[in-house]
Amino acid sequence: LSPEKELAIAIRRREFVVHYQPIIDLSNGRCVAAEALLRWRRPDGRWIRPDLFIPLAEDTGLISPLTDLLIERVIEDQAELLRADRGLHISINISARDLESGRFLPVLSDAVARSGIEPSQIWIEATEQGFIRAEIAASAIKAARAAGHMVAIDDFGTGYSSLSLLQGLPLDALKIDKSFVEAIATDAATSVVTPHIIDMAHGLKLRIIAEGVETREQEAYLRAAGVPLAQGWLYSRALPAAEFAAFRQGRN
């Protein structure tokens, strides 16, 4: 069986679960959101990491049904919690292919409407990788914002068209890639870039979410630089839905 066939079968059999990595408000330490991260759980119990199957899904057109499944699972897992607490948000990753086809948005809008949550409770992370046609991405982002979602650019700084791309896209937020967070307070060449990314985001009036925060020192730096939101192993790894609910309750 080819990897593509295996993935297609796995989607049909719904062998995917979602884990949730807490996102923390740096002003008060509260958990205000989580990033939804897909995991493929094989019938034999083996877990397959998203960096192995997402690129395959993107290359084969399987990303569209996989994103539909992601949306369904997130609503299934989180609708009750989201209805009970309008201050909670779930951030989902939408690939460039999804943005270009635009098909995820009616699926998402329908799921949101049926579940009785607010569209503003679902954030969208659009990765910079593979934004081949900026105009198409821009109109998809506009449509998602018009539907009430906050849209962030993900993995910022790891692509190659960063600055011109940013200026042309109607974004709400920027996620600082973990490589720039990792460089904070080290002598890595990258460390000189981090403050510029933060300044640029402020200049463009974008909200900032820092990824991959692992130390108190990184956290203190980000807070002092005016970064409002952060996620990373300092707070929590990505958790199964029930553990995320417990984490949040313990923290808020």
Determine if 93 is a binding residue for Mn ion (CB under 5 A): yes
Q: Binding string to ligand G for residues 39 to 78, with x set by CB under 6 A, is what?
A: ----------xxx--x---------------x--------
- Give the Cα separation of 212 and 251 in Å (integer): 19
Determine if 214 is a binding residue for ligand G (CB under 6 A): yes
Closer residue to Mn ion in complex, CB, 211/219: 211
Strand-pairing partners, residue 35, are 21, 91
Q: Binding string to Na ion for residues 151 to 190, with x set by CB under 5 A, is what?
A: ---xx-----------------------------------
Q: CA of 6: how far to CAs of 1, 12, 60, 63, 86, in Å? A: 6, 10, 12, 14, 39
Closer residue to ligand G in complex, CB, 93/109: 93
Determine if 35 is a binding residue for Na ion (CB under 5 A): no
Is 222:3 a contact under the CB 8 Å cutoff? no
Determine if 90 is a binding residue for ligand G (CB under 6 A): no
**CA 233 centroid distance within chain:** 16
Beta strands in the chain (DSSP E): 16-25, 31-41, 47-48, 89-94, 122-127, 150-156, 173-176, 207-210, 229-230, 239-240
Determine if 154 is a binding residue for ligand G (CB under 6 A): yes
Q: Which residues form the interface with ligand G (CB under 6 A)?
A: 21, 37-38, 49-51, 54, 70, 93, 95, 127, 154-155, 178, 211-214, 232-233, 237-238
